[in-house]
Amino acid sequence: MANKILIYGGSGGIGSSTARLLRERGHDLHLVGRNEESLGVLADELDSGYTVGDVVADPDVFSRASQEAGKELGGLVYAIGTINLRSLQRLSESDLLQDFQVNAMGAALAVQAALPALKKSSEGSSVVLYSSVAAKQGFSLHASTGMAKGAVSGLTLSLAAELAPRVRVNAIAPSLTQTPLAAGILTNDAVAAGIAKQHAMERLGTPEDIAALTAFLLSREASWMTGQILSVDGGRSTIAS
C-alpha cells in the first residue's frame, strides 16, 4: 500500500489525532483545512504537506489538494463535518444545504478528485468517512445532521461497491466526541456529564477513540473490510441506559 494518506480536516479534533497516530506508524501525510495557521503548525510538527481551502466556498480545493498530495495515495480520510442541532421548524433551506455540502458532498468530491491517485496504489487503498450515531438512532433536533450523515452512510456503501477491489471504503459512526466541533454542546459541565451518562460506557468519546479505528481501517490488517459503517459510540446506538 502506498504510504501517503490525504486527511481532510487534518487539523481538527479527530483529524489531528489520526494524523499524529499515522505519522507515528510511519505514514507520510497531506493535510487539508481552512485555517492556514493551525495547519502550518501541525504540518511542521508532522513534516507533512498541506492545502488550505474551504470545501464549500472554494470548490477548487479538491483538485488542488489532490494535485499537491501527489500521484499515489494509500488512503483518504474525510474528517470534516457539522453538528447543527435545531428543530425542523428552525432549520432554513441554507442550513440544510450547508450541512449536506460539508458532510456528504464534500466527501464525494474529495474521493472523486483523489481517485486516480488512490487507484494507483499497487496494494490497494482505503477511504475512511465519518457518519454519526444520529444516522443509526433517532434523536430530536438532529434532522439536518441525521440527514447529512445518512447520506454519508449511503455514499460509503455505494462507493465501496463501485471501487472494489482496488479501493476499500468504510465509515465510522461516532457518538458525541470531545473535539472543537462538539465544544458548543459541552460548555456546561452538568450537561456534558448528563450526556456521558446516556452511554453504557459512561463517558464521552475522545479523538483517540476514533483515530484508533481510522488507522486500523487504513491498514493492511483491514484488507478484507469494505462497505462497513462501524459504530464507535460507547454503546449509545445499541444499549439502553
Residues near ligand NAP, by CB under 6 A = 9, 11-15, 33-35, 38, 54-56, 79-81, 102, 130, 132, 174, 176-177, 179-182
Closest CA to 74 of 215, 225, 241: 215
Give the DSSP per-residue string, 77-141: EE-------B-GGG--HHHHHHHHIIIIIHHHHHHHHHHHHHHH-TT-EEEEEE--GGGTS--TT
Tell me whether residue 165 or residue 184 sits nearer to ligand NAP (CB atom).
184
Q: How far is the CB of 97 from ligand NAP (least distance, A)?
A: 13
Residue 8, beta-bridge partner list: 32, 78
Q: How far is the CB of 2 from ligand NAP (least distance, A)?
A: 23
- Angle CA 33–34–38, to nearest 5: 75
Tell me whether residue 2 or residue 217 sits nearer to ligand NAP (CB atom).
217
Q: How far is the CB of 122 from ligand NAP (least distance, A)?
A: 29
Residue 5, beta-bridge partner list: 29, 75
Q: Which element (helix H / strand E) includes 214? A: helix 207-218
Q: How far is the CB of 74 from ligand NAP (least distance, A)?
A: 20
Tell me whether residue 38 or residue 63 sits nearer to ligand NAP (CB atom).
38
Tell me whether residue 29 or residue 80 sits nearer to ligand NAP (CB atom).
80
Tell me whether residue 144 or residue 179 sits nearer to ligand NAP (CB atom).
179
Q: How far is the CB of 96 from ligand NAP (least distance, A)?
A: 15
Measured CA to CA in angstroms, residue 9 lies from 77, 89, 224 at distances of: 8, 30, 26
